[in-house]
Amino acid sequence: MSMSMTMGFSAPMKFKANAAMNYHEHHHHALDASYVKRAAELSDLSAGFTSPHPNFGCVIAKNSSVGNKVFGEGYLYAQGTKPAEVQAVEAAGEYCRGATAYVNMEPGDYNNDNTSLSAFIKAGITRVVIGIRHPLQHLRGNAIQTLRSEGLQVDVLGEDIRGVSMEQDALKSCLVVNAPLLYRSAFQVPFSVLKYAMTLDGKIATSSGHSLWISNKKSRSRVFELRGRSDAVIVGGNTVRKDSMKLQLLSPS
């Protein structure tokens, strides 16, 4: 009798405990993915200005009396400026101790030192969540190994964190914001975008060469954005001679 009662009550209790644990872990990882996506969004604010460095963003969050809260954010403004990780650490200040840092990409080196990694270690960050590993082979995995050797927990999205609802969305954000670097490292050729506008019958100008805007204001704004993100703009010689184009990076007001 006692055996059947024990079996009847212990199994459901164990099941409930496991279910609660799985829910907590899933919720925690979903939060991780959302912060990684935020880091990617931050890094996109300076797209086109950081070359030859990737676009980097960083978020520092920590459990507080009001729940999980962001205490510091930063992104790499341009080549030669302060790393995103250092900006976030400085913004968070004393709240860094015991906190988690989220970055869209594994940190690389800045001027052949480990400024960003040192900032995490000295500030007392205990965990780092990384969106994607660095795509360049001579840097890939170096920061992860260094941080782990210093006792920090390092989790990579898609490797250590899987199966959460926001995982794919966050990964996509990390891939898109540094698509040119990822493409170049994979295929050893520059990431290129072909832009042109033509009529439904396949024309880009009249037989005399006279041309009017075929595109609209929205598409032209997109062109200015693409130019601003690019390292170079290539056009045909006749286009330059006949159109006297300015190739502006910002849309004229």
> Residues with catalytic annotation?
85
User: From CA 36, how far away is CA 78, in angstroms rounded?
Assistant: 21
For helices 179-187 and 167-177, angle between their N-to-C axes, nearest 10 degrees: 80
- What are the residues whose beta carbons fall under 8 Å from the beta carbon of 216, sequence distance 6 or more? none
CB 61 within 8 A of CB 102: yes
Q: How many CB atoms lie within 10 A of CB 191?
A: 15
| DSSP for 12-42, written as a single string | HHHHHHHHHHHHHHHHHHHHHHHHHHHHHHH
Query: How far apart, in Å, are the Cα atoms of 195 and each of 52, 96, 229?
Result: 23, 45, 14
| DSSP for 118-138, written as a single string | HHHHHHT--EEEEEE--SSTT
